């Protein structure tokens, strides 16, 4: 499983990040891993964002940041989650962790896909 935390729907960097995942969806899907996007936006916001950009991944609404807090995805921006990637293996062990408290740069898809594959070996 790959958890992709991002600060917000319809923001410039986040939109590029999620659209990049969409554009590489075949590569993500080929890993067999479930890939989930997570932000503090609401379910309605996620629905609109996913429809607007034709996003194939499930988006989780972590409006109270409970999931982000559990994983340590704290942002320096109040009320937001840090742009982060967590890859979890079949035994529930976190095999890859990339937390970016400012989130100005998005993770590279090749790095995330590679981390998913490594977690499966």
- Return the domain boundaries, the chain: 2-119
Give the model confidence (pLDDT) of 78-119 as tens digits: 878 999 999 999 999 999 999 998 878 899 999 999 999 999
Q: Is the dihedral of CA 51, 49, 111, 108 positive or negative?
A: positive
Q: Residue 24, class by beta-carbon neighbours within 10 Å (0-12 exposed, 13-18 middle, 19+ buried)?
A: middle
Contact at 8 Å (CB) between 46 and 4? no
Q: Which sequence positions are flagged as catalytic?
A: 14
Give the model confidence (pLDDT) of 2-52 as tens digits: 999 999 999 999 999 999 999 999 999 999 999 999 999 999 999 999 999
Fold annotation for 2-119: Glutaredoxin (3.40.30)
**Greatest CA span in the chain, whole angstroms?**
37
């Amino acid at each position: 499983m790959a958890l992709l935390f991002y600060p917000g729907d319809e923001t410039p960097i986040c939109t590029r990040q999620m659209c990049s995942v969409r554009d590489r969806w075949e590569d993500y899907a080929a890993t067999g891993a479930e890939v989930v996007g997570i932000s503090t936006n609401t379910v309605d916001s996620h629905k609109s964002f996913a429809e607007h950009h034709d996003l194939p991944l499930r988006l989780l609404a972590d409006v109270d940041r409970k999931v982000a807090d559990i994983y340590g995805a704290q942002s320096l921006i109040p009320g937001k989650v840090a742009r982060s990637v967590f890859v979890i293996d079949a035994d529930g062990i976190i095999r890859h962790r990339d937390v970016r408290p400012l989130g100005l740069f998005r993770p590279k898809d090749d790095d995330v896909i590679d981390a998913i594959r490594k977690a499966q070996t």
